[in-house]
Structure 1
Amino acid sequence: MTSLVPRKPYTDDELRRLYPDGLELRQVQILMRHGERTPVSARFQNTGLPPFWPYCASVRQMKTAIMAHGGEKGDAPFSTLEWKRRLETFGRDDRPVVAAGPKGEVDDVCDMGSLTDLGRQSTFKLGLRLRHLYVDRLKFLPPVISSTDFMYLRSTPIPRALESMQQAFSALYPPSAREPDSTGRFPAPVILTRAPGDETLFPNDSNCRRFAQLSRAFAQRAADRWNDTEDMHYLNKLIGKWMPPDRPRVAVDSRPRLSGIMDTINATDAHGPDTKLPPEFYDARGRQIMEKIAVEEWFDGYKESKEYRTLGIGGLLGDVVERMVGSAEGRGSQVRFGLSGCHDTTLAAVLASLGAFETTEWPRFTSHIAIEMFRKSDTAAAATGSWWASMFGKATSAQIGRKPTPELTLVEKKKMDGYYVRLRYNDEPVTIPGCKPNGKHLEGDESFCTLAAFKEIVDKFTPFNWRHQCHMNTGVPGIPPEVPEPAGH
């Protein structure tokens, strides 16, 4: 199973337990994996699997902003060019041909790694579930909005992540829930993106030299551990005959890699009968083995190495904490709700770095983490009053979000009193080990970490200068750390 099967909506009793009286929900930040997609590269065509899939109807309706006549003066308005995209590929003797699906389709053909029609549907449905919970049930978000100024919308540069986030937003606030301004139009939502070299919304091994070195080291450890085991022998008996003739063995570091094999299996499993592999690829035991090994290869580094956490996901979690603390401080331009389009590696890295990814299951398509911040209703915090007032109120000079916990004054620490953080992964609360001791969680529920304890845990692997740290320690072996550095404390 690679597509997420959402749990049923919370019952009234479940909702009362999850959102108890005496706690006021103050902020929600959602990290969402994109929906179902095509494989990131063509594999196993020797099985009859077509390289191109006809599951992307959106490419019939492409639009591009075009400057109108008079643009040389710099004041011309933009219009829209509507166009239809077709893919071109190599044919015989390298002659160009139009890429086609298994039945000769040419107009709905997806590129590699593209969000499919099914992926659009599943991420739209996620947005509906978010609206049902946060608007209809909890009354946390307004049913109708006149702008997105209270939201933090962001995506990685990968189109499937951006499109998935846009699908979820469109269901959370459909056109009927958006009020036009004086011009008769709803103000365009601001969606933040970063240049690849600045991206921290996923583990950026392409632009962080030291993290790439660490990733390779943990991948090699996984290969050394698993390549000559009964589990790998089982996989070779199962699907080894389909491997390339020059590299006929399935291995962690085979070509395609074991994780790449799993990628194609997962993508085909989610889609229609015309894009399936032979039945042996979907063997239950074989898939469990693949996921177990891939999870160790890709995510054990976060569990074991502080440096791995710092360079891989520390920047993102530092940003998350800064937004929460900013809300607790009562600073202006606060985020009420965040929605970020990201990836499986983002979600697993976040949970593993917090000591809360105790599973061998790879994150499913459209999985998400809800990071919720609460305030005790009787807390005499600086940011009293409604969130609307705090949003537009005068900003304070103190900003403690990025300041390491040991450097905080008593007055600064006091600002976080009465605030709690809770993570839900696919609608199920998770518990962070460092939040279990007395005084570091809400009495009676260890899943509610105090904001101070959560910040203290994240501070330990928040980079002080990510770009600089990406070039440090490159001459040092990647693993293992000399002293154990368990996550979540």
Structure 2
Amino acid sequence: MAQLPLEVESYYLLAPDNLQLQQVHIYVRHGEKTPVGIRLMGQPANLPQYWSFCKTAQRLQALVTGDEDGDDFMHARKVVEREDGHSVEDDCLLGELTDMGRTSTYNYGRSLRELYVDKLEFLPDYLQKSDEVYFRTTNIPRTTESLQQIIHGLYPTSKCHTEAVPPLFIRNTKDKNLSGNTSCKHLEILLIGFAQASTYNHTLEPLDKKLSKYIGGNPIRIDGNRERQIRAASTHGIKVPPEFEEKVVIDTLEKAIVTEWFAGSLLFVLFRPEPTYI
């Protein structure tokens, strides 16, 4: 199922009168996407090789150099070509934000507006200046596109001054700090060492008997790629093997993978830029 928007009324109560909200930092990953690699195809898992959930992403508008009157916008369609040369409508690239992911991140942006604009009146209803908010993303298409959807939900065009186009800040790979900077060779070595030494591998051993048949008889160990493929499939309505529908199985895998990937690894941030002190 798609990610649910924030439950503003249920979980975000007004602060006591003697307290005032000064600053908000919001960290988000990205919306639902296709797997970054193709695994578990064929017997016995039978997950698909191609994922056709990207109708919206086919429509492109690009700023191009125009004639003497200046630049112009070019409308185009993006088509994913398969290795045999033919294409299928709505095919996604590996790791691409799907239509479901676009919808869920847009809804998240709308919920942020409901909370911080309508309910708490912390952010302005109408954006007069672009520096009233600060948006930053990693240089990965699915995170940038997710942030664009969130911004559109939080500040749709009708709520932005024509001069207040919110900038999306992106750092070069060597300067990034929203996710693990693997251009640092020492960090890369540490990450590999963590995966090899993970204490969760011991907790995964009992799953070998159930799941090894889906990965060529290999043991189930820390490697988030396989479980994320299962999550991506079930989220988009693709039938997964029955073992991966068992709560104890998926919970065990998820705990191991969350530990592997998310000890401080975050993909983009939305917050007000200046520090404020009480």
TM-score scaled by structure 1? Answer: 0.52
For residues 135-166 of structure 1, give each alpha carbon's deviation from its aligned partner in whole angstroms, at most 9, with x where no partner exists.
11111111112332211111110111111111
Contact 2:5 2:107 in 1 (8 A): no
Structure 2 Cα separation of the partners of residues 238 and 270 of structure 1: 22
* Compared CA separation, residues 5 and 191, structure 1 to 2 (3 A): closer
Structure 2 Cα separation of the partners of residues 48 and 291 of structure 1: 21
For residues 414-433 of structure 1, give each alpha carbon's deviation from its aligned partner in whole angstroms, at most 9, with x where no partner exists.
x95xx2xxxxxxxxxxxxxx
* Compared CA separation, residues 28 and 296, structure 1 to 2 (3 A): closer
Structure 1 Cα separation of the partners of residues 112 and 24 of structure 2: 11
User: What is the letter of the counterpart of residue 268 of structure 1?
Assistant: A
Shift of 1:125: 0.8
Contact 1:60 1:84 in 2 (8 A): yes
Contact 1:30 1:369 in 2 (8 A): yes
Partner of 2:46: 48
Partner of 2:86: 98
- Does 2:256 match 1:290? no
Partner of 2:210: 238
Shift of 1:8: 2.9
Contact 2:30 2:146 in 1 (8 A): yes
* Compared CA separation, residues 226 and 161, structure 1 to 2 (3 A): closer
Choose from 78, 84, 87 the match for 1:85.
78
Partner of 2:154: 172
* Compared CA separation, residues 63 and 371, structure 1 to 2 (3 A): closer
Choose from 240, 244, 261 the match for 2:226.
261
Contact 1:238 1:281 in 2 (8 A): no
Structure 1 Cα separation of the partners of residues 46 and 57 of structure 2: 25
Shift of 1:60: 2.6
TM-score scaled by structure 2? Answer: 0.88
Partner of 1:142: 124
Q: Which runs of 4+ in 1 moved over 6 A?
A: 368-373
Contact 1:85 1:107 in 2 (8 A): no
Partner of 1:281: 244
User: What is the letter of the counterpart of residue 264 of structure 1?
Assistant: Q
Contact 1:156 1:201 in 2 (8 A): yes
Choose from 59, 67, 81 the match for 2:65.
67
Partner of 2:9: 10
Partner of 1:405: none
Any stretches of 5+ residues in structure 2 without a counterpart? none
* Compared CA separation, residues 198 and 98, structure 1 to 2 (3 A): farther
Contact 1:60 1:108 in 2 (8 A): yes
* Residues 302-451 of structure 1 mapped to structure 2, 5 A cutoff: 345-346=265-266, 416=277, 419=278
SS state at 1:192 partner = strand
Structure 2 Cα separation of the partners of residues 86 and 51 of structure 1: 17
Which structure's relative contact order is higher, taking Cα pairs within 8 Å and 6+ residues apart? 2
Shift of 1:240: 1.5
Choose from 160, 175, 193 the match for 2:170.
193
Shift of 1:372: 9.2
Partner of 1:457: none
Contact 1:86 1:98 in 2 (8 A): no
- Does 2:26 match 1:30? yes
Choose from 193, 197, 202 the match for 1:221.
197
* Compared CA separation, residues 294 and 150, structure 1 to 2 (3 A): same
Structure 1 Cα separation of the partners of residues 99 and 26 of structure 2: 22
User: What is the letter of the counterpart of residue 253 of structure 2?
Assistant: M
Structure 2 Cα separation of the partners of residues 79 and 98 of structure 1: 31
Shift of 1:369: 8.5
SS state at 1:346 partner = coil
Contact 1:234 1:286 in 2 (8 A): no
Contact 1:218 1:298 in 2 (8 A): no
Shift of 1:58: 2.1
Partner of 2:135: 153
SS state at 1:129 partner = helix
- The number of aligned residues is 276
Higher fraction of strand: 1
